[in-house]
Amino acid sequence: QGTWIGPFQGVPLLLDKLQSGPVRNTRHLWEIYDSEGTLQHFIDGNDPSKSSWMRYIRCARHCGEQNMMVVQYRSCIFYRACMDIPRGTELLVWYNDSYTSFFGIPLQCIAQDENLNVPATVVEAMSRQESLQSLSKNGKPSSSSSSSSSTPPAT
């Protein structure tokens, strides 16, 4: 219980690109929202060569069947175990309260980072990823995207 896996890998898609294309398979598509609850983009995990094994975790048919929940942390999707899962049990994901609130289900406001009990390893990995993305875009660290972690990027 409490174990996080992720982030969910895929191709970022903007809403206009999704709307202008042919009808898509949305089975491996997750919505990404900002802190105001505004849809920012989608993560499309349909292409196995651009996604990870997380795309094979199926959605539970209802919340009573779930053993994992979807959590958006910053702009990434993670799955978090919501119970102890015995070996050999299929992982089945369902939405947590903060994620479903974006679908118009009035459960609660978006959870803040401190309410998610985000593992330190996830915080550090996200900080490293943001630092590396900043370096790859600019060739040098951006002062606006400085990391709150004192852990230097992995080389």
Residues 6 or more apart whose CB falls under 8 angstroms from that of 154 comprise 128
pLDDT digits (tens, 9 = 90+) for 138-152: 655 444 333 333 333
Q: For 1-28, b where at least 16 C-beta lie within 10 A, e where not — what string?
A: eeebbbbbbbeebeeeeeeeeeeeeeeb
Instruction: Please tell me the predicted confidence (pLDDT) of residue 8.
Output: 95
* Domains of the chain listed by start with CATH number: 4-144 (2.170.270.10)
Whether 24 has a pLDDT exceeding 80, the answer reads no
Instruction: Please tell me the predicted confidence (pLDDT) of residue 22.
Output: 62
* pTM of the predicted structure, to 2 decimals: 0.66
Instruction: Please tell me the predicted confidence (pLDDT) of residue 147.
Output: 34
SS3 category, 73: strand
